[in-house]
């Protein structure tokens, strides 16, 4: 089969080559890949893959061979899949990483969903109830940002979408953003949840907008710049306590990395 593999010895970092067809295990399916998606992070971190590794994670196609243990989709099913080795004519995926695609859904479109969709979904799920809360999404014009905007609005959040330019904000209101702003300096008021995809100074500024007890998820670093937090910026003065005139909360909120 033809596949795109890691090639650290080349300027591009990858090459198109021929490999033996993969063989699925008992809990795996063999998929004929019709469409695959390319995520920015996969290109940025090509050097981290061993030479010869089949690249890519997002794919859509048809099941050529179902799992021998009888689980998962059957032969001929149209599926979307998530797992290493997606940039090949044939790929093996675990049955719990494959979903049957309705006939009304275009395989080419759904192929771009797994990585960005799962990132947005899992991040928002760990944020607690979103109804009535203010959710800030940086890099909202990107894949994760666009999915997160829709999901957060669906959960009843007030969504503030941050973009790098007015042109990048096109369509975000239609997806559910209550506000579309250019740059974090344009954000008014504090927020309860942050999905931060830019990193660097953007991460530091977004942290400063977080309400006490809020949560910030660092799920990307598109800027490639370092983040330098001012001294004591991760602490906030709390309410009066029994042991003294005031207490200090150990965090303005909490940061998680995905």
**What's the CATH code of the domain at 121?**
3.40.50.720
Co-location of 6 and 99 in the same domain: yes
Q: What is the mean pLDDT of residues 106-123?
A: 96
Q: What is the mean pLDDT of residues 149-161?
A: 98
CATH number at residue 106: 3.90.180.10
37 falls in which pLDDT band (50, 70, 90)? very high
Cβ–Cβ under 8 Å, residues 52 and 77: no
Co-location of 35 and 134 in the same domain: no
Whether 56 shows a pLDDT value over 90: the answer reads yes
- Indicate the residue among 56, 84, 111 that finishes a domain: 111
Which residue has 């004929």 as its token pair? 32
- Indicate the residue among 86, 111, 136 that finishes a domain: 111
- What is the structure's pLDDT at 236? 66
Co-location of 186 and 150 in the same domain: yes
Co-location of 135 and 233 in the same domain: yes
How many folded domains does the chain comprise?
2
Co-location of 142 and 252 in the same domain: yes
Percent of the chain with pLDDT over 70: 91
Between the alpha carbon of residue 44 and those of residues 87, 162, 220, the distances in Å are 16, 23, 12
Cβ neighbourhood burial of 243 (10 Å; 0-12, 13-18, 19+): exposed
Whether 40 shows a pLDDT value over 70: the answer reads yes
Co-location of 97 and 176 in the same domain: no
Co-location of 238 and 125 in the same domain: yes
Domain residues for 35?
Answer: 2-111
Q: What is the mean pLDDT of residues 40-60?
A: 93
Co-location of 91 and 217 in the same domain: no
- What is the structure's pLDDT at 248? 34
C-beta contacts of 208-215 below 8 A and 24+ residues apart? 208/233, 209/136, 209/184, 210/252, 210/253, 211/134, 211/253, 212/236, 212/238, 212/249, 212/252, 212/253, 213/253, 214/190, 214/252, 214/253, 214/254, 215/126, 215/127, 215/128, 215/253, 215/254, 215/255, 215/256
Whether 215 shows a pLDDT value over 80: the answer reads yes
Cβ–Cβ under 8 Å, residues 160 and 135: yes
Cα 185 to Cα 117: distance, rounded to the nearest angstrom:
28
- Find all residues with CB under 8 Å of 237, minimum gap 6, and list them: 246, 248, 249
- What is the structure's pLDDT at 250? 37
Q: Which of 80-89, 136-145, 197-206, 229-238 has the lowest mean pLDDT?
A: 229-238
Co-location of 42 and 89 in the same domain: yes
- What is the structure's pLDDT at 233? 83
Q: Which two tokens stand for residue 169?
A: 């904000």
- Indicate the residue among 111, 140, 167 that finishes a domain: 111
Whether 254 shows a pLDDT value over 70: the answer reads no
Q: Which of 42-51, 62-71, 202-211, 233-242 has the lowest mean pLDDT?
A: 233-242
C-alpha triplet 180, 135, 177: angle, nearest 5°? 35
- The pLDDT tens digits for 57-98 are 999 999 999 999 999 999 999 999 999 999 999 999 999 999
- What is the structure's pLDDT at 239? 54
Co-location of 29 and 60 in the same domain: yes
> How many C-beta atoms lie closer than 10 Å to residue 133's C-beta?
19
Closest CA to 100 of 70, 125, 121, 79: 79
Co-location of 102 and 121 in the same domain: no
Whether 246 shows a pLDDT value over 50: the answer reads no
Co-location of 165 and 56 in the same domain: no
Gyration radius of the chain over CA positions: 21
């Amino acid at each position: 089969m033809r596949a795109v593999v890691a090639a650290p010895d080349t300027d591009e970092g990858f090459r198109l080559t021929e490999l033996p067809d993969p063989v699925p295990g008992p809990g795996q399916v063999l998929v004929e890949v019709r469409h695959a998606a390319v995520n920015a992070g996969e290109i940025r971190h090509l050097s981290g893959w061993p030479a010869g590794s089949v690249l890519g994670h997002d794919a859509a196609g048809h099941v050529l061979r179902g799992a021998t243990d009888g689980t998962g989709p059957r032969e001929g099913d149209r599926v979307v899949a998530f797992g290493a080795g997606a940039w090949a004519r044939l790929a093996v995926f675990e049955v719990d990483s494959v979903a049957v695609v309705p006939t009304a859904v275009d395989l080419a479109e759904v192929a771009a969903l797994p990585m960005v969709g799962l990132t947005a979904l899992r991040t928002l799920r760990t944020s607690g109830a979103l109804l009535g809360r203010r959710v800030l999404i940086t890099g909202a014009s990107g894949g994760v940002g666009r999915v997160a905007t829709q999901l957060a609005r669906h959960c009843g959040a007030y969504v503030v979408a941050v973009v790098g330019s007015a042109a990048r904000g096109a369509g975000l209101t239609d997806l559910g953003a209550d506000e579309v702003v250019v740059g974090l300096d344009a954000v008014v008021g504090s927020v309860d949840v942050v999905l931060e995809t830019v990193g660097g100074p953007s991460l530091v500024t977004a942290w400063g907008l977080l309400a006490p007890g809020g949560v910030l998820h660092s799920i990307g670093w598109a800027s490639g710049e370092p983040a330098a937090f001012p001294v004591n910026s991760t602490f906030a003065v709390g309410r009066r306590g029994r042991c003294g005139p005031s207490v200090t909360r150990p965090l303005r909120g909490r940061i998680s990395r995905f």
